Structure 1
Amino acid sequence: MQVKERTFLITGAASGLGAATAERLAAAGAKVVLCDLNDGVTALAARLGEGAKACLVDITSAEQMQQAFDTAVALGGERGLSGVIHCAGVVSVAKLVDRDGNPADLVSYARTVNINLVGTFNVMRLAAAAMAKNSPDDSGERGVIINTASIAAFDGQVGQCAYSASKAGVVGMSLPAARELSRHAIRVMAIAPGVFETPMMSEIPEDAVQALAANVPFPKRLGKAEEFAQLAEQIIVNPMLNGEVIRLDGGIRMQ
């Protein structure tokens, strides 16, 4: 699939991985629909030009996300929506039993799973329905869905039960979704980033961030959002990438 003159919807596009992906695809000639709860997407869309549209939406809302997909399909014209890069999500840290002997908060756990997992399913189902209506392109494709998992899906640390479970669910959906959507010529992939320089990382204590960076075998640093965006573009243009989860982590394995 080509990027130029195609239309892509990106969630979590106000900052971090989503913003970097939107900027890279727009620079390659794509039209982009930027989705986020943060109104920073409005400024980013304005900076990217008339080929960019901003949608202030909650990824767990069926109605709001349907409106965003309608916007993307309209922006795409005859070609419709070619792809989705789903980056929106939250991080949460909570032990099952805290230092005072209290159990973890169930509402907080459910919120994390609802946003990271149910929200991903919501985006996937609407994306698939929109792209299934496309005419196949020259390579026979109708679309591509790229979800964001995490290495926490495989190497979850203490206190990451909610986050790890939600991202493991994203990993678990990748292959069955790819198998199902193959009849529509829609590919499904997931990227599992390691420790990256994103606003989400700012919620972790600085000493912990530095320790994580020091544990990356090579390059010995945090990942850059632009590197995530580069991989997303490679997935779009390489038709043999399907039904797989790619770790993008510099070789780190969490303890």
Structure 2
Amino acid sequence: MLLTVDIGNTKIKAAVFEVNALKEKFVFEKNETEKKIKKIFEQHEKIASVILSSVGNREKEIVSELKKYAPVTVIDHEFSFPFINKYTTPATLGVDRMVLAAGAVLQFPDQNRLVLDAGTCITYDFVDRNNHYLGGAISPGLQMRYDAMHNFTAKLPLLYPETPSTYIGDSTNSSLHSGAVNGFVYEIEGFIKEYSRDYEDLTVILTGGDAEFLAKRLKNTIFANSNFLLESLNNLYIYKIKND
């Protein structure tokens, strides 16, 4: 069994895999790390290895805790990925984005792929059918848009994502929901349209914390999978074993 771990900006996500089957998923706060890791290994005694990626802090502390139970592979920029990195500043490319790109290559071979990760920020990552990673975009995530409107104005309230009944807001709250949610959806659909125009047979993968919320609102044909990063870590581990 393999434990995959994603250290995000706000939470830690982990999943236990047996070959390609996801057995159980865990989401917890960073201050719960020691207790949660112990519980995971108590519940799944057959875990033999761990693979981890991180965009957050406390990585060394968490890796040290995991090493008490099993060998840990930490994904970094020196890892062997199944694509050619064409990013002009490769050292600044987030490891999480590289893992998602790798997962797209391994799960959807011989296709043009666009991965949308809707979390704290939304990232767009494009890998062409020749397995060239070309880059993408980064913009504020859904909740960040609500937070910004509240924090950088004097009177706008702090709200949380809610489906607007119409694009015409008839109150301050409904106007905020329309602007945040509809604006977010229009942005995503606009990007997909641009990529689809330039690259035929585009496969779009939507993941991240807001994936399920957004999937119902997007008109484009997409693969919505909130576990895609954890699955990509599992696929990368299998890829590493086959290519060592």
Structure-2-length-normalised TM-score: 0.34
Structure-1-length-normalised TM-score: 0.33
Q: Of the two, which has the highest radius of gyration? A: 2
